[in-house]
Structure 1
Amino acid sequence: MARMKGGEVIADVLIQEKVPYVFGICGHGNVGMLDALYDRQDKIKMISPRHEQTAGHMADAYYRVAHKPVATLTSCGPGSANMPMSLACAQADSSTFLAITANVPTSQFNRGPFQESYQHFQADFPSVVRPYVKRSFQPSRVDMLPTAMRQAMHLMTSGRPAPVNLDVPYNVFQEEDDVELPQPRLPGAAKRMGASPEDITQAARLVVKAARPLIFIGHGVTLSEASVELTELVDKLGIPVVMSPNGMGTLDMNHPLSLGFIGRNGTWAANQAGRHCDVLLTIGARFDDRSSSSWVPGYSWNIPPTKLVHVDIDPAEVGRNYDVELGVAADARTFLRQLLSELNGYSPMPTREGTEGWRRSIAEWKAEWEAHIAPNFGMDTSPMRPERVVGDVQRILPDDAVLVCDSGVHHNWFMQHWSARRPQRMLNSWGFSAMGFGVSGVLGAKLAAPDSPCVAVVGDGGFTMTPHVLCTAVEYDLPAVWVIWNNYAWGAIRDLQLGAFGGREIGTSFRNSDNGQPYNPDFAALAKSCGVDGIKVSRSSDFAGALEHAIASNKPYVIDLEVDPNVKPISVGTWRLPPLTPPEPAFGKPWRP
């Protein structure tokens, strides 16, 4: 045992667990922790962005790319109160980081000192983040830290990942005690639970006997790093695949059996396959409203009569929104390996009788969709058409590039038309849809993948929420690229408002009070004031070259890109917000058996 300060215990456990970064903001409450990090700068690096929300999004994105957790550090009161946004974003998308928050000294609990939350319980910050973390620990003595750190590090990466909070009173960082650090966790300590042999046998029989089988994959397949196994299964059986945005790239989306995203702004082929399949094997996806057309039969799914085999590491998600033919609580990669072993000797779908019509329908739906969308990708306009933006980004970025999308109307276009070639290379704020995730997260992505281009496509509204990321990029030499989708509006909400309320609009467009014309800052000039190169692009023919130059510069770079606000994403499903009248698809019609 060694005599150590609390801050030293925390820092040494992080180092022992090979945590490379702490993303944090200083405050009076965490100076003891900062002092411990000062002595360990050669083993763990402190990066200080200009806002706590950004620290959380950076940590979230780092995990999504590297699948290794990092930590955040914030002070008492408002510093930590800025964290719920990024914690909720990570929790909703099954990402994780250790959120170390400071609190008031234990000797002052329940006395209302500076920045204490004490209305219902002393030092009550853990109640603030309770809905958004897997667990909150509040050790009140130094000798409690080793156990809390061991449990926190294990919990946040075992099972379904989610953030964990370590709330540390001010004095605990600086007080000393004789402590023994926990043993380092062994690789694979977070066990990959598998399915029972009976469930594997039943799943295999359902899939191979289907006339119209389909696979639906989500973030669980990405998190389990099951791309190889998924691809082997698809090639072995010849079954088409639809996916949620956080599952994109686990199967190369240029694969002939990849149908893309399913849902309101998915592809026609994906939604048609979802409507018509007779057996659906779903792995690591939770059937949220946007990937299921708000669960309305006939728009994305018909479950039942479609028989659902639902596999998820979180038993609470199995059967949450649809009745299952077979529910399986299992890790995605373990399940796929078990299923592949069970399927030895089975024939692939293209050689089985009764599947010819399904294969023919899939090919026809893909061709119909491609014929409908293809002409818009080559149009040269000013401002740019959204399809041309997606197409140029796709053409310029190498396969190993990391694309980080923020929340906004631009995300709808990328969900519908982007083809991810590799896993962990398209990051989305999906479940919580937090503006700022893409703007800030690209910095964490760049730290996780320093040799890959990292490009954030963000809305003009979202960027102006956290523009201080430019300062952090300069301070820490992080050559990220921001493509600002400038349509002079909260575009997604403006379109919803115009469509649902008879053309009435308020509070969604950005306008100059003097003349009523569209207004935004000069984002390129704003970037330059921060020491970041920037350029404004208004015409399609100028964008690809600007993006190539931005990536080649290997410096932080901003492209202020004017995009036509009057071109709407193509709806092939629906999204219902009761009691508003739901929109019908702009392409195709729903189908019910």
Structure 2
Amino acid sequence: RMREAFRLAEEEKPGAVHLELPEDIAAEQTDALPIPRSLHRRPLAEHVAIEAAVEKLQNARNPILVIGAGANRKMTAKVLKQLIDKTGIPFITTQMGKGVVDERHPRFLGNAALSSGDFVHRAVEAADLIINIGHDVIEKPPFFMVRGGTEVIHINFRSAEVDAVYFPQVEVIGDIANAVWQISEALTDTSHWDFTRLLAIREANEAQIAEGGDDNRFPVYPQRLVADIRRVLPSEGIVALDNGIYKIWFARNYKAHKPNTVLLDNALATMGAGLPSAMAAHLVHPDRPVISVCGDGGFMMNSQELETAVRLGMHITVVILRDDGYGMIRWKQANMGFTDFGL
């Protein structure tokens, strides 16, 4: 079981494994030794799939990249930047794909933080081909497909989970970094690509973000808070977000310079994660500045962890945004016409 736990933890998607033993067994001694580390590599995508993706890209006029959490691997980030620099193809990120490629890049169009109607969604609508890289359906897709609409290339470790709003025409399954590298190498003439419309949308988005960053109203405007924290944190500084309406503003307006510098959960999005994830980030990177941003509701759920942070001498900053309520639920219920009660 221990060996299996390590294997699962290191496979795609890497992550924590919970192994629980009865107390009497957990107390037993053993002379068993760990087995040597496996030399297995992730399988590579088939040539047929690579060729199909390249053909789609060669025939496109204004393709767009969507970068998700699965692309957050060192080699994948490297080859993605090489592809973007080589071809000039614009890219957007999902919330959990932030920082895979430096978001100060001139081809970064924005983050899919809002559900619909934002500049990013206009850019996706203007594209004639979507290359979806490492996107996990546990995050809702930043675009919704319709039959006969924009075609999608799915590049991921696993095949697509097809449903009513996501059914890619080409699937490239295997090691993402290798697949992106192969596609980049096979692309020849892309001079017919035209990103005039996409880059015009980018400029509008950049102007709107800059405008909110200087807003002096009180109580503090969320966009101003995001801009202020970005100004004071170095590129390697870490922002750990709890779950609330401010998470959308950070995902949308806070430009991540490096991978894993914006920690957020866009899956089950459980409240209370902000302070503990900041503490974990400090344990891994004790020399980097770490800021946790929480709402009053989210902070309340794990405020007792302050005792742990103080006892361990952790130098982290916690910003609490107080609106005396559950802001995201209030916003959602107001949009649905419900009365404000119990929030």
TM-score (norm 1): 0.55
Match of 1:159, SS state, is: coil
Paired with 1:419 and 1:191, the residues of 2 have a C-alpha distance of 33
Paired residue type of 1:309: I
* 1:237 equivalent in alignment to 2:87: yes
CA distance in 2, matches of 1:263, 1:384: 20
Of 159, 163, 181, 1:337 maps to: 181
2:183 paired with 1:183 = no
Opposite residue 129 of structure 2, the aligned amino acid is V
Write the distance in 1 (CA, Å) between the matches of 2:149 and 2:178: 28
Q: Which residue of 111, 114, 130 maps to 1:261? A: 111
Which of the numbers 123, 148, 151 marks the counterpart of 1:307? 151
Residues 67 and 93 in structure 2, CA contact (< 8 A), matched pair in contact too: yes
Deviations 1:76-126 (A, max 9, x none): xxxxxxxxxxxxxxxxxxxxxxxxxxxxxxxxxxxxxxxxxxxxxxxxxxx
Question: What is the deviation of 1:225?
Answer: 4.5
Check 1:330–1:195 CA distance in 2 against 1; reply closer, same or farther (3 A cut): same
Aligned equivalent of 1:328: 172
Answer with 370-379 or 413-422: which moved more. 370-379
Query: Is residue 452 from structure 1 mapped to residue 306 from structure 2 by the alignment?
Result: no
User: Aligned to 2:13, what secondary structure does the other structure show?
Assistant: coil
* Deviation sequence 1:436-475 (CA, Å, 0-9, x none): 1122111111111111111111111000010012111111
User: How do 1:84-123 residues align onto structure 2 when only pairs under 5 Å count?
Assistant: none
Q: Which of 256, 274, 284 pairs up with 1:420? A: 256
Give the alignment of 1:163-178 within 5 angstroms: 163-177=16-30
Distance in 2 (CA, whole Å) between partners of 1:371 and 1:174 is: 61
Q: Which residue of structure 2 lines up, in the alignment, with residue 319 of structure 1?
A: 162
Corresponding residue SS for 1:208: helix
**1:61-76 pair list within 5 angstroms:** none
Question: What's 2:341 paired with?
Answer: 506
Once the two structures are superposed, the pairs formed by residues 132-531 of structure 1 within 5 Å of their partners are 148-177=1-30, 179-185=31-37, 189=39, 191-223=41-73, 225-262=75-112, 264=114, 268-287=118-137, 290-292=140-142, 295=144, 304-315=148-159, 317-320=160-163, 321-343=165-187, 346-347=188-189, 349=190, 352-353=191-192, 355-356=193-194, 359-501=195-337, 504-508=339-343
Letter in 2 for 1:326: V
Structure 2 CA distance for partners of 1:369 and 1:439, relative to 1, 3 Å: same
Residues 267 and 470 (structure 1 numbering): CA distance in 2 closer, same or farther, change over 3 Å? Answer: farther
The 1-side partners of 2:36 and 2:232 are apart by 42
Count of matched residue positions in the alignment of Structure 1 and Structure 2: 342
Q: 1:226 to 1:202 in 2, by over 3 A?
A: same
Q: What RMSD, in angstroms, separates the aligned Cα atoms of the two structures? A: 2.1
Which gives a bigger RCO, structure 1 or 2 (Cα 8 Å, sep 6+)?
A: 2
1:568-587 matches, within 5 Å, as none
- Aligned AA (1:185): R
- Higher deviation after alignment, 385-394 or 326-335: 326-335
**How many angstroms apart in 1 are the aligned matches of 2:26 and 2:208?**
61
Cα offset, 1:288, TM superposition: 5.4
Larger Rg: 1
Segments of 5+ residues of structure 1 without an aligned counterpart are: 1-147, 296-300, 509-593
Whole-Å Cα distance in 2 between the matches of residues 482 and 369 of structure 1? 29
Question: How far apart, CA to CA, are the structure 2 residues paired with 1:289 and 1:314?
Answer: 15
Report sequence identity in percent.
27
Aligned equivalents of 1:465, 1:303: Cα separation in 2 = 43
Residues 402-446 of structure 1, C-alpha deviation per residue, up to 9 Å, x if partnerless? 111111011011111111011111111111101111221111111
Instruction: Give distance in 2, aligned partners of 1:283 and 1:471.
Output: 40
**8 Å Cα contact 1:224/1:332 also seen in 2:** no
**TM-score scaled by structure 2?**
0.93
Shift of 1:303: 6.1
1:241 deviation in Å? Answer: 0.4
How far off is 1:339 after superposition? 2.0
Further displaced range: 320-329 or 192-201: 320-329
SS at match of 1:226: helix
Matched AA of 1:306: T
Residues 391 and 467 (structure 1), Cα distance of their counterparts in 2 relative to 1, 3 Å cut? same
Distance 1:381 1:330, change over 3 A: same
Contact persistence 1:266–1:415 (CA under 8 A): no
Distance 1:488 1:237 in 2: 48
Task: State the distance in 2 between where 1:251 and 1:289 align.
Answer: 19
